[in-house]
Each structure stands twice: as structure tokens, then as C-alpha cells.
């Protein structure tokens, strides 16, 4: 599995109370030493976070990601090379994705590719499954890249 250190640090930051995407997006710098990151966090935090606490929480995050096994290929952060561009107007810091768990080829998410998300039921009927399989097959045949949240049911089709 491909893990990027920035993504692990960001997930660790977000595991502490009060630190969400907007704070990360506005305060996190690529490959920043943990001590500097902790100093920024402690300016906001009501209770100081020690280096030992941060490292312990980081180890838990790494362990949780390892437990995902083959269900993902890796995790990447918004500051890492290869993170897909965010399209759309009006995206503000609280909406911006800062970490992405992925399975497959991330380069397929770049704007020069035709992408489509197929969403649906967790427990589709047999008829819905048949229709969705046909639609997905047709889309892939036309060169579309299918984007999925990897849930059971329609996402797995």
C-alpha cells in the first residue's frame, strides 16, 4: 500500500478535537516538521498536545490504515504530487478534500479524462444490477472512467 507521510500527518491532526479540513487546508505545509505543526496546533488547542501524544496518535492512524489491507491502494494528501485537481466553483477550505483514500490509478481523475460516478442502492434488485451492468459496460466502452466510493451494492458493480 502506498502511504504518503503528509496524508498520515493530516489524518493525525484531524483526529484531535477541533481540527478539521479548513484548518488543515489553511495551516498545513508540505513535509513540515511535526514540531512546527504541533506549535500551530497548540496555538488553537485549549489543551496542549505533546509530541508524545501526537506520535502515539500517528501510530494509531498508521495501524488503522494498514488494517484496510487490499481494500485500498493508498492514501494521498492535497499537498502531495499526484493529488487530483478539485474542479468546480465556490469550493472553500471547509469543503476542500485534504486526504483521499484510493484504489486504482489516480491519474485517471485528471480533467482530460471523461469521469462519471455511478451511485445507487446498497442492496439493488437483480433487475437494477442488470441495468447498471449494461450502463457501466457501455460507458467504459466509450472511454469513460468510473469513479466509485467502493461501497457494497451499486458501487461494486
Question: Which parts of the chain register pLDDT below 70?
Answer: 1-3, 87-91, 93, 149-151, 154
pLDDT at 1: 55
pLDDT at 124: 82
Q: Can you list the alpha helix ranges (DSSP code H) found in the chain?
A: 5-14, 21-27, 34-44, 51-67, 126-141
pLDDT at 3: 67
Q: Which three cell numbers stand for residue 69?
A: 489491507
Which among 91, 90, 156 is positioned nearest to 129, based on CA atoms?
A: 156
pLDDT at 87: 65
Amino acid at each position: 500500500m502506498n502511504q504518503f507521510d503528509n496524508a498520515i500527518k493530516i489524518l493525525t491532526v484531524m483526529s484531535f478535537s477541533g481540527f478539521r479540513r479548513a484548518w488543515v487546508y489553511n495551516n498545513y505545509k508540505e513535509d513540515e516538521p511535526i514540531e512546527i505543526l504541533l506549535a500551530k496546533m497548540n496555538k488553537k488547542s485549549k489543551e496542549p498536545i505533546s509530541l508524545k501524544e501526537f506520535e502515539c496518535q500517528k501510530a494509531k492512524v498508521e495501524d488503522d490504515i494498514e488494517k484496510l489491507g487490499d481494500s485500498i491502494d493508498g492514501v494521498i494528501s492535497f499537498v502531495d504530487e499526484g493529488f487530483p485537481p478539485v474542479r468546480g466553483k465556490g469550493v472553500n477550505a471547509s469543503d476542500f478534500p485534504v486526504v483521499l483514500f484510493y484504489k486504482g490509478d489516480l491519474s485517471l481523475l485528471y480533467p482530460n479524462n471523461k469521469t462519471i460516478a455511478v451511485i445507487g442502492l446498497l442492496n439493488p434488485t437483480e433487475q437494477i444490477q442488470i441495468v447498471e451492468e449494461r450502463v457501466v459496460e457501455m460507458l467504459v466502452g466509450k472511454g469513460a472512467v468510473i469513479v466509485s466510493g467502493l461501497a457494497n451494492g451499486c458501487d461494486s458493480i
